[in-house]
Amino acid sequence: MVLRKVMVAAVLAAAVPLMALAAPSTHDAPAPQMSGNPILPGWYADPEAAIFGDRYWIYPTTSTVYEAQVAFDAFSSPDLVQWTRHPGVLKMDAVPWAKQAMWAPSVVENAGRYYLFFSANDIKNDSEVGGIGVAVADHPEGPYRDLLGKPLVGAFHNGAQPIDQFVFKDDDGAWYMIYGGWKHANLVRLKDDFSGVLPLADGTLYKEITPSPEYVEGSLMFKRDGRYYFMWSEGGWGQPDYSVAYAIADTVTGPFKRIGTILREDPDIATSAGHHSLIHAPGSDNWYIVYHRRPLGDTARDHRVTAIDRMYFDANGHILPVKITREGVPADPMRPAAVPRHPAAQP
């Protein structure tokens, strides 16, 4: 009996260190903190993502009936997970010519001030007042006020409705704006103070760069490894087939030829995934796509929510199809060396 007790004690003594070694795999490696999707509370669409100072920013459209789209909120975060709401950063009262609706913001920093470009009034012809406007503020959270007293682009050129603008700064310091609806996309060069447009190298003011017949709206441009990426939304913004496609060119003016779709619905998670923007986390090769989508089973016209997921490139620089998720992305704290700049201007 004594011998048997000694043997049992020896076995238990040997088991304790094994259990202790196994424990850290479950207790010392907690699951990363995730953003979850949607990342913003409430109905928000057309999210514009930017990096200013030591925070990530998102400026979305307030997704409601046109008559109620009278202000923009903004959200800021140190890590893509915890977001702070900044209500009413631009209100329609600050834009005398805006009467019906404001949507699709694009926000950049320029010489220490912040400029919020937006669409307003949903004009259908050149006799109506509206189009693309620009507002200015001294801080990312506003308050923004109208810069020009009139639209920056207030007419149709090359058949493009003046909506859904995106502002892009090239490596040489030149500012460009890509915009368009009604199946046509234009590129313009902006004056350095954003008071108007300048001729492009070929002398044109409004250059059509429509990449394919599928183009609808939601233009975006960024530069990576010396090449220009043009992204846009296809399908109907109120329909499940809403999606994002892209093209690549060697110059800012193209020509751009459609490569493929990279963001679309997942019938098990959400539908109508589109009208996106991008975040390139400073000091890393982490790319994030911020977009809106519709909850499953919800067909209300303006029930759209903002989500974020990872975006990856293959060895040839092509964008891989994005997997949309419920979990979102892990925390990615801003690095101390971050500097104020728009995500599209990052190399």
Report the catalytic residues.
46, 217
Residue 112 amino acid letter: G
Q: What is the b/e burial string over 31-68, where b = at least 16 CB atoms within 10 angstroms of the residue's CB?
A: eeeebebbbbeebbbbbbbbbbebbbbbbbbbbbeeee
- Phi/psi at 45 (nearest 5 deg)? -140, 180
- Please name the residue ranges forming H helices in 189-319: none
d(CA 215, CA 237): 12
Q: Which DSSP state fits 31?
A: P
Alpha carbon 222 to its chain's center: 11
Q: How far, in Å, CA of 158 to CA of 91, rounded?
A: 30
Residue whose C-alpha is closest to residue 293's, from 45, 70, 22: 45
Measured between alpha carbons, how far is 312 from 159 in angstroms, rounded to an integer? Answer: 34
Question: CB–CB of 188/204 below 8 Å?
Answer: no
CA distance 218 to 186: 12
